């Protein structure tokens, strides 16, 4: 509402143009105020960056002079008559504080009240401005606030001495100085390499939204403590722009307070390798514990099943001992390859079968190198042991001149991504061989069958003139495994 | 077939037992362990055993196609984790126990209203006791509203 007052508004002896004639707009009003010398009380030793005129009767309307808008990075021509909502430029709570202070000085027509106010630059960066202002009153009621603004040089940045800058540059640690309103002020080269973001790219902006830190406790609690002067340290995980997650031992402390604005000093020490190692160890330990428990379950089953219907205790002990030894031998090989579940076939064969023949010559292994997945180690070990025990009793290793040849070939069924199938043949050569009479199906045979089933193997068992030929065909790697 | 385990079969005493299971499903990818379990259950409860199944898909089919009144489930099988089967059992109010060597899976039972976890290797008596207890007091609540994934969390 334009002003109409019976008594003209005035600053000291100067009458202001608030009278019976309404003033069309704040911009024109400002021009008239300038002509009447209303800016004189705002004159300072240092030149101001511009002026503002706030209509308290329409608090959403505030005139900002073109030079002020320009200083804050706005294009004054974009803004019709430079009349804006006060909140577009200034932090509303700060503007309200200025208003309250200015208005409270009822007695004095000497205007001035110096205050700090936070304003937003066009690019979203917060700037502190020093503000001189006084109230224009009509019949004693404040109707306008007229003021000057001077942008405070970004003192927070300047605060960092050159020596500190050297440290920032030389240190390989990530050192970041930032505040909630001004964003990142300093971003060390260590931070550049740790986070994969250049200082230029992050300066003046908040880095949390980009790096999505995960703190062990609520950030609000950490922030409150640091603002209070405490140092906080703890493990924080960050997501870099390329998506990788890193873990840092982070220290946060209050660097300084300027004009009510807390500057944080953040030092991040990369502990990602240690954390990953610990995770890996945890997984390995868990996996190993599971394997051991599983093996004990298998051994208990072996004992129970081997003992059933077996009255010959020495024979039972021998069979059991062989079976457990075979399991142990096969699994010890796989334990040597901690980084990968399973073991190379050649080594498993050598470990399980090695103790049986009288000489190394009597065991011949022939085939390409291939990896046996962990879950196939147990059945493979047990099968090999049963075959070896039989070879020792009746077959290839029953006479000194005999031998056993284990040969294997690999095929791929469905193109390069299909499962690898292995055909493994167990061939016994014994010059004194006589095909055995059919014997009763014992647990050894049942064990062979069950283990073959667990292996997922097709088994073909034939006799040739000089001994047993047994072939096992099974997938040695499922397509989904790597 | 004569029973290979030296367990005393007293099925005559149990025929009237209303809590005696008649068909139990076993999911277990360690063949020997599964076979031992099978023999134990057959001797202890004189019941039929479905399985042991080495794959989730086979166990799932068996659950869908058969009437069963109990199940013993290893958690990790060849083709994945057993939860789809547990879900079906839970929905049908069929009691089951988990039988696993993964200690960190202790929480899984809670997802199924306290289905017990038998820490592998479990003794025969522990297995039998767990089955008897589960048959006496199956799930307290029978209206699952969450998916297994939610419950597993």
| Structure tokens that stand for A148 in this block | 């000057």
* In the predicted structure, residue B103 carries a pLDDT above the cut 90: no
Which is higher by pLDDT, A465 or A80? A465
pLDDT digits (tens, 9 = 90+) for A90-119: 877 788 888 888 888 765 556 566 678 878
pLDDT bracket for residue A123 (50, 70, 90): low
pLDDT bracket for residue A388 (50, 70, 90): very high
Which helix (H) or strand (E) element contains residue A104?
helix A92-104
pLDDT bracket for residue A481 (50, 70, 90): very low
Class of the CATH domain delimited by A155-270: alpha beta
Triad A405, A411, A415: Cα angle to 5°:
170
* In the predicted structure, residue B142 carries a pLDDT above the cut 80: no
| Structure tokens that stand for A447 in this block | 């064990």
What angle, rounded to 10 degrees, do the helices at A272-307 and A443-455 form? Answer: 150
In a domain, B7, yes or no: no
pLDDT bracket for residue A3 (50, 70, 90): very low
Residue A364 near residue A405 (C-beta atoms within 8 A): yes
Q: Kindly state the DSSP code that residue B75 receives in the 8-state scheme.
A: S
Give B4 to chain A, closest Cα distance, Å: 5
Give A241 to chain B, closest Cα distance, Å: 29
In a domain, B53, yes or no: yes
CATH code of residue B37: 3.40.50.2300
DSSP, residue by residue, A185-242? EEE-HHHHHHHT--HHHHBTS-SHHHH--B-SS-HHHHHHHHHTT--EEEEEEEE-TT
- Domain span including residue B100: 20-152
| Structure tokens that stand for A30 in this block | 């400002």
What ipTM goes with this model?
0.75
Q: Kindly state the DSSP code that residue B105 receives in the 8-state scheme.
A: G
DSSP, residue by residue, A20-39? SSPP--HHHHHHHHHHTTTT
Give A385 to chain B, closest Cα distance, Å: 15
Which is higher by pLDDT, A322 or B111? A322
| Structure tokens that stand for A250 in this block | 């982070």
Nearest neighbour of B33 by CB, restricted to A289, A301, A451: A301
Place of tokens 């307070």: A257
Which helix (H) or strand (E) element contains residue B134?
helix B124-136
What is the average pLDDT score of chain A?
82
* In the predicted structure, residue A206 carries a pLDDT above the cut 80: yes
- C-alpha of A141 from chain center: 58
What is the average pLDDT score of chain B?
77
Measured CA to CA, the distance from residue B87 to residue A159 in angstroms comes to: 63
Q: What part of B 47-86 touches A (C-beta under 8 Å)?
A: 54, 78
The span from the first CA to the last CA of chain B, in angstroms, equals 45
Closest by CA to A115, choosing from A136, A90, A137, is A90
Residues of chain B contacting A378 with CB distance shorter than 8 Å = 30
pLDDT of residue B133: 83
Pick the residue from chain A with its C-alpha nearest to B54: A454
B120 reaches A (C-beta below 8 A): yes
**Biggest CA pair distance of chain A:** 135
Per-residue CA distances from B77 to A19, A332, B53, B85, B149 (Å)? 91, 23, 9, 12, 17
- For chain B, helix, strand, coil in percent to 5 are 40, 20, 40
Q: Is A205 helix (H, G, I), strand (E, B) or coil?
A: coil
Domain A155-270 in the same topology as domain A10-151: yes
Closest by CA to A406, choosing from A330, A348, A324, is A348
In a domain, B3, yes or no: no
pLDDT of residue A349: 93
B105 reaches A (C-beta below 8 A): no
Measured CA to CA, the distance from residue A291 to residue B48 in angstroms comes to: 30
In a domain, B116, yes or no: yes
Strand order in the sheet with B48-53: B48-53, B23-27, B70-73, B96-100, B117-119
In a domain, B15, yes or no: no
* In the predicted structure, residue A136 carries a pLDDT above the cut 80: yes
pLDDT of residue A284: 83
Nearest neighbour of B120 by CB, restricted to A294, A379, A443: A294
In chain B, how many domains are there? Answer: 1
What angle, rounded to 10 degrees, do the helices at A313-335 and A345-353 form? Answer: 150
pLDDT of residue A150: 86
Measured CA to CA, the distance from residue B134 to residue B116 in angstroms comes to: 8
Please judge whether B101 and A454 are an interchain contact, meaning their C-beta atoms are less than 8 angstroms apart. Answer: no
Q: Which CATH number fits domain A275-477: 3.10.350.10, 3.40.50.300, 3.30.565.10, 1.10.101.10?
A: 3.30.565.10
pLDDT of residue A341: 79
Residues of chain B contacting A304 with CB distance shorter than 8 Å = 5, 36
* Topology adopted by domain A10-151: Beta-Lactamase (3.30.450)
Place of tokens 């939860």: B83
* Residues in Cβ contact with A251 at an 8 Å cutoff, skipping those fewer than 6 apart: A231, A232, A233, A266, A267, A268
Q: Is A110 helix (H, G, I), strand (E, B) or coil?
A: coil
Among A172-186, A444-458, B29-43, the range scoring the smallest mean pLDDT is A172-186
Domain ranges (residues) in chain A: 10-151, 155-270, 275-477
pLDDT digits (tens, 9 = 90+) for A332-386: 888 887 666 788 999 999 999 988 888 888 889 999 999 898 889 999 999 999 9
In a domain, B69, yes or no: yes
């Amino acid at each position: 509402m334009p002003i109409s007052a019976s008594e003209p508004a005035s600053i000291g002896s100067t009458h202001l143009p608030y009278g019976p004639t309404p003033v069309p707009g704040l911009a024109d009003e400002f021009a008239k105020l300038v002509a009447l010398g209303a800016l004189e009380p705002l004159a300072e030793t240092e030149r101001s960056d511009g002026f503002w005129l706030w209509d308290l009767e329409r608090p959403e309307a505030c005139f900002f002079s073109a030079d002020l808008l320009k200083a804050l990075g706005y294009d004054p021509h974009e803004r019709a008559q430079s009349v804006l909502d006060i909140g577009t430029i200034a932090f509303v709570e700060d503007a309200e504080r200025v208003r309250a202070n200015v208005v409270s000085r009822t007695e004095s027509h000497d205007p001035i009240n110096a205050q700090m106010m936070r304003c937003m630059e066009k690019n979203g960066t917060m700037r502190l401005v020093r503000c001189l202002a006084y109230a224009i009153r009509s019949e004693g009621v404040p109707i306008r606030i007229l003021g000057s603004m001077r942008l405070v040089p970004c003192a927070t940045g300047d605060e960092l001495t050159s020596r500190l800058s050297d440290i920032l540059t030389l240190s390989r640690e990530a050192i970041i100085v930032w505040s909630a309103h001004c964003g990142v002020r300093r971003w060390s080269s260590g931070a550049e390499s740790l986070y994969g973001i250049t200082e230029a790219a992050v300066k003046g902006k908040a880095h949390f939204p980009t790096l999505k830190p995960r703190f062990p406790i609520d950030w609000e609690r950490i922030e409150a403590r640091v603002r209070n002067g405490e140092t906080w340290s703890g493990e924080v995980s960050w997501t870099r722009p390329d998506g990788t997650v890193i873990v840092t031992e982070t220290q946060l402390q209050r660097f300084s307070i300027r004009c009510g604005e807390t500057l944080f000093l953040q030092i991040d020490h990369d502990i990602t390798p240690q954390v990953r190692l610990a995770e890996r160890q945890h997984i390995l330990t868990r996996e190993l514990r599971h394997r051991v428990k599983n093996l004990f379950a298998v051994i208990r089953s072996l004992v129970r099943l081997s003992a059933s219907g077996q009255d010959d205790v020495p024979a039972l002990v021998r069979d059991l001992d062989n079976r457990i030894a075979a399991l142990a031998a096969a699994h010890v090989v796989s334990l040597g390859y901690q980084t990968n579940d399973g073991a190379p076939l050649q080594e498993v064969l050598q470990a399980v079968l090695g103790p049986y023949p009288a000489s190394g010559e009597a065991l011949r292994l022939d085939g390409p190198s291939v990896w046996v997945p962990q879950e196939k180690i147990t059945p493979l070990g047990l099968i090999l042991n049963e075959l070896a025990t039989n070879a020792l009793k009746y077959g290839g290793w029953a006479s000194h001149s005999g031998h056993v040849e284990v040969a294997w070939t690999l095929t791929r069924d469905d193109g390069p991504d299909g499962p690898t199938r292995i055909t493994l043949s167990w061939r016994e050569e014994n010059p004194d061989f006589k095909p055995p009479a059919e014997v009763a199906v014992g647990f050894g045979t049942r064990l062979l069958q069950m283990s073959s089933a667990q292996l997922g193997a097709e088994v073909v068992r034939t006799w040739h003139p000089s001994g047993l030929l047994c072939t096992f065909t099974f997938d040695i790697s499922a397509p989904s495994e790597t | 077939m004569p029973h290979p385990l030296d367990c005393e079969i007293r099925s005559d005493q149990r025929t009237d037992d209303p809590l005696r299971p008649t068909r139990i499903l076993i999911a277990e990818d360690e063949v020997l362990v599964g076979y031992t379990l099978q023999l134990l259950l057959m001797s202890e409860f004189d019941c039929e055993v479905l399985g042991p199944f080495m794959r989730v898909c086979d166990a799932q089919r068996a659950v869908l196609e058969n009437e069963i009144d109990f199940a013993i489930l290893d958690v990790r099988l060849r083709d994945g984790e057993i939860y789809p089967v547990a879900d079906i059992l839970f929905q049908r109010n069929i009691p089951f126990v988990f039988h696993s060597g993964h200690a960190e899976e202790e929480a899984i039972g809670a997802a199924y209203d306290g289905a017990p976890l038998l820490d592998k290797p479990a003794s025969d008596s522990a297995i039998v006791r767990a089955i008897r207890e589960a048959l006496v007091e199956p799930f307290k609540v029978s209206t699952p509203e969450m998916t297994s994934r939610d419950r597993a969390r």
